[in-house]
């Protein structure tokens, strides 16, 4: 190692000298951006044509750029305005003020958006009508801006991150936020299957068509914002009922050649999280990379984990119109899983674990290539091509109940998946005039090819994390491949009938081809069964949205869009004790409808009040049937019936300091989100089940979810106290009372209090947080199989301290 020290020291000295010299040669361009009437224009794009270096103006219309001396052209552009170009000459050390006045597009060919939508008020804003190569007019949406909220980012704490998004129901799979499980409107929150989950606009789940579970969750410390669009996103992003969940990573600081961030967090139960990133802008190249390591022992016994995630992004501005990029994400983790408890065991000691032989691991690799092309002032085109090379494995004893955690001689079941997927999506956005009215047209094409291999059989005995099959040549349960093919074309068009009203019709045509090919082994008959199936579906999805701008700061929105959820063979092929799946499962169909009122009032009130209706036909649920010999009760997964969810989703935030016209450096704000969901079975597919399920509450559909928080900020110190309450839920279609094995029954209502604080001093930021301040014992899930079965307790009180350095 000594041989490496000298070059590293020399390299460090060179970088310091190079960076200092670069700054010595730079000058500063600054100014304000307004329209011709002198009105401030926020969030304007400011870019130097020759170098590609740029920034986004603040909410006050101010911008600042550091740049080397020379002769350049400044390009200033914003939605709804004619792009302005200013030539200028910079000299070394100069501070040049260029105030820009943009002219409204007199040809009425640009997109329009409700003014003030993008205001980031304490970490929450809404998407513009047209933004990021997509149309959002008339759709219920939220954007969580991570830099504006107080949350425990080291543990991806979902109830803090999504606190201002009403109705988010959370399954807490682990205390470190390794696997995210969220849903809304009475949908299934397990591993976020009901959302079309994306990172920087591309899919990240195992297979969105064949197996839509998300085993990879982007580390929150690297995220700039999280975009959430409810079920109306089905036309542009995918057919899922939940809508879009898009994690948008940070980019390199356009004002620095190199920016380094290091954030170290320690917490109770052995948690250690190290996040380190580097990024910047060198000429026309923007780059950003991070690596994060997370480990801990967990509150319960047998709950240790180890996670590593790395990412690199490069974007190069080839010309004024053309930009290309490449990204690579790599993640791997290993978790020991403590298993489930019965109700009696949970009441006696929720921290206990009766299994020390259950393990889970996942490895995720995602390469991506991007191209963005500005064809002309009215037309943009982009392409995202991405792949997924991944695997996940679980091994353990899942017989219920189990009493002896020291017995390492019992059989362990091993399930292992391999994913080799490829997808590409192209979009064209064009602005035009229709009968002298403004309009924007979006057309997109998507092709996706998934290939899942699922193997299940006997693993090695013992209690270690051994993910090798005992007999890999011929598995004693099954070995199947599930190729899936998906192609789609989608079109949406927004017309502004006048300055207040817009209408957005859309259509998506979907092609889905699901296949299975493999064998299963029956140890009772000692026979091997070969299976090969194919299921092809083609169908259109329709939707329409309407926006009415009451004022420049408020609007009424309405949308109704169809949804679709395909059944996949990977879900059908399951072998778990006392659990079976109907081989004739049918696809789920239905729609989402929203009607709401949202906006801002004088910059001190941010609100969104809405009602919704969700129709969910052929709902898949769990019922109880007798086993073939009639001696046991089997949990049976099948199409249960039709359900509908009716509810309201409300959010409001008051900034008392701005309301009282006080100094904004000392702010007090109060937010509250409330959701009411009446998710009920209205029809039963099997007439024998009519009296058992019709009128019953849908599984994992709490009637009320309340989250509220108080934030105090003084200069660079900010603290938030948050309260959250989720009402009672059930875990089966019968709304059964608890059983002795803990597999079904209610999930009692629970409440939680969290505290988060941050203090920034120059380049340092100190953070402190306490989760579950009142030390409540609760749970959010009953598992039927792995990793339980039974109740999966959530963590008790835990505390965390973090220290961040930004250079």
Alpha-carbon distance values, 185 to 144, 194, 195, 242, 615 (Å): 19, 10, 12, 8, 10
pLDDT of residue 403: 61
Q: How far apart are CA 415 and CA 395, in angstroms?
A: 6
**R_g (Cα) of the chain, nearest Å:** 27
pLDDT of residue 390: 97
Q: Which domains, from first to last, does the chain contain?
A: 1-106 (2.60.40.1120), 247-776 (2.40.170.20)
The secondary structure of 499-515 as a DSSP string is SSEEEEEEEEEEEEEEE
Kindly state the helix (H) or strand (E) to which residue 20 belongs, with its residue range. Answer: helix 2-24
Q: How far apart are CA 66 and CA 27, in angstroms?
A: 6
pLDDT of residue 583: 80
Q: How far apart are CA 429 and CA 374, in angstroms?
A: 10
β-pair partners for 422: 387, 449
pLDDT of residue 686: 86
| Residue 477 structure tokens | 């349960």
Q: How far apart are CA 792 and CA 299, in angstroms?
A: 12
Q: How far apart are CA 203 and CA 67, in angstroms?
A: 36
The secondary structure of 632-661 as a DSSP string is SEEEEEEEEEEEEEEEEEEEEEEEHHHHTT
E strands of 207-271, at which residues?
223-229, 243-249, 259-267
Q: How far apart are CA 83 and CA 103, in angstroms?
A: 8
Per residue in 724-771, pLDDT (tens digit) is 999 999 999 999 998 888 888 999 999 999 999 999 999 999 999 999
pLDDT of residue 250: 95
| Residue 18 structure tokens | 């190079």
259-267 and 272-282 beta bridge pairing = antiparallel
State the CB neighbour count (10 A cutoff) for residue 763: 10
Could you give phi then psi for residue 17, rounded to 5 degrees? -65, -45
CB 363 within 8 A of CB 332: yes
> Residues in the chain with pLDDT < 50?
1-24, 106-119
Q: Cα angle at 133 between 164 and 44, to 5 degrees?
A: 75
Find all residues with CB under 8 Å of 628, minimum gap 6, and list them.
none
Q: How far apart are CA 284 and CA 92, in angstroms?
A: 20
Handedness of CA 104, 106, 111, 112 (dihedral sign): positive
Q: How far apart are CA 567 and CA 570, in angstroms?
A: 9
């Amino acid at each position: 190692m000594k041989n490496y020290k000298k070059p590293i020291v020399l390299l460090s000295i060179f970088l310091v000298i190079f960076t200092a010299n670069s700054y010595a040669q730079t000058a500063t361009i600054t100014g304000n951006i307004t329209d011709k009437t002198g009105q401030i224009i926020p969030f304007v794009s400011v870019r130097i044509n020759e170098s590609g270096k740029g920034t986004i103006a603040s909410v006050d219309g101010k911008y600042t750029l550091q740049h080397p001396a020379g002769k350049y052209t400044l390009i200033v552009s914003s939605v709804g305005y004619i792009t302005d170009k200013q030539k200028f000459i910079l000299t070394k050390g100069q501070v040049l003020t260029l105030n820009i006045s943009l002219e409204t597009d007199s040809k009425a060919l640009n997109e329009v958006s409700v003014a003030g939508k993008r205001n980031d008020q304490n970490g929450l804003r809404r998407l513009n009508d047209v933004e990021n190569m997509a149309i959002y007019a008339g759709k219920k949406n939220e954007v969580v801006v991570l830099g504006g909220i107080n949350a425990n980012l080291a543990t991806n704490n979902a109830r803090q991150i999504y606190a201002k998004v009403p109705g988010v129901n959370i399954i807490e799979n682990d205390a470190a936020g390794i696997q995210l499980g969220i849903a809304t409107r009475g949908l299934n929150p397990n591993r976020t299957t009901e959302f079309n989950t994306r990172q920087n606009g591309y899919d990240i789940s195992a297979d969105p068509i064949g197996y839509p579970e998300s085993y990879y969750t982007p580390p929150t410390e690297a995220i700039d914002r999280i975009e959430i669009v409810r079920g109306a996103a089905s036309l542009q992003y995918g057919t899922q009922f939940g809508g879009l969940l898009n994690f948008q990573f940070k980019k390199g600081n356009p004002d620095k050649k190199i920016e380094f961030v290091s954030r170290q967090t320690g917490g109770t139960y052995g948690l250690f999280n190290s996040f380190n990133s580097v990024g910047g802008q060198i000429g026309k190249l923007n780059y950003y990379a991070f690596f994060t390591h997370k480990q801990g022992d967990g509150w319960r016994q047998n709950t240790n984990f180890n996670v590593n995630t790395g990412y690199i992004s490069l974007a190069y501005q080839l010309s004024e119109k053309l930009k290309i990029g490449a990204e690579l994400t790599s993640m791997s983790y290993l978790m020991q899983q403590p298993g489930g408890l019965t109700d009696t065991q949970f009441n006696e000691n929720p921290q206990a674990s009766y299994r020390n032989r259950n393990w889970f691991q996942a490895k995720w690799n995602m390469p991506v290539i991007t191209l963005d092309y500005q064809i002309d002032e009215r037309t943009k085109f982009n392409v995202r091509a991405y792949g997924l090379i991944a695997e996940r494995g679980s091994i353990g004893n899942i017989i219920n109940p189990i009493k002896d955690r020291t017995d390492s001689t019992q059989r362990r079941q091993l399930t292992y998946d391999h994913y080799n997927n490829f997808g590409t999506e192209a979009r064209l956005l064009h602005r035009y005039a229709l009968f002298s009215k403004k309009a924007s047209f979006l057309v997109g094409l998507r092709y996706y090819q998934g290939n899942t291999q699922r193997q299940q059989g006997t693993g090695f005995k013992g209690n270690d994390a051994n993910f090798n099959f005992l007999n890999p040549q011929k598995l004693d349960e099954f070995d199947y491949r599930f190729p899936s093919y998906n192609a789609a074309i989608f079109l949406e068009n927004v017309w502004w009938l006048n300055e207040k009203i817009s209408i957005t019709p859309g259509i998506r045509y979907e092609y889905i081809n699901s296949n299975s090919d493999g064998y299963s082994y029956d140890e009772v008959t000692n026979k091997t069964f070969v299976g090969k199936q194919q299921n092809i579906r083609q169908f259109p999805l329709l939707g329409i949205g309407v926006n009415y701008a009451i004022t420049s700061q408020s609007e009424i929105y309405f949308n109704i869009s169809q949804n679709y959820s395909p059944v996949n063979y990977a879900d059908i092929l399951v072998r778990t004790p006392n659990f079976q799946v109907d081989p004739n499962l049918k696809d789920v169909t239905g729609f989402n409808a929203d009607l709401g009122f949202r906006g801002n009032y004088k910059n001190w009130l941010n609100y969104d009040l809405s009602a919704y209706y969700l129709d969910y036909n052929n709902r898949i649920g769990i019922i109880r049937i007798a086993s073939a010999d009639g001696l046991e009760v089997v949990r049976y997964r099948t199409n249960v019936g039709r359900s509908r969810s009716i509810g309201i989703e409300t959010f409001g935030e008051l900034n008392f300091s701005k309301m009282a016209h006080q100094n904004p450096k000392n702010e007090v704000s109060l937010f509250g989100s409330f959701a009411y969901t009446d998710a009920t079975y209205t029809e039963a597919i099997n007439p024998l089940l009519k009296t058992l399920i019709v009128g019953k509450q849908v599984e994992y559909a709490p009637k009320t979810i309340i989250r509220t928080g108080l934030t105090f900020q003084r200069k660079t110190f900010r603290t938030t106290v948050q309260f959250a309450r989720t009402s009672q839920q059930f875990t089966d279609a019968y709304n059964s009372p608890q059983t002795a094995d803990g597999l079904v029954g209610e999930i009692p209502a629970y409440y939680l209090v969290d505290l988060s604080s941050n203090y920034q001093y120059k380049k340092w930021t100190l953070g402190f947080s306490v989760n579950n301040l009142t030390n409540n014992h609760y749970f959010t899930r009953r598992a039927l199989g792995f990793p339980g079965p039974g109740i999966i307790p959530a963590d008790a009180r835990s505390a965390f301290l973090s220290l961040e350095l930004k250079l």
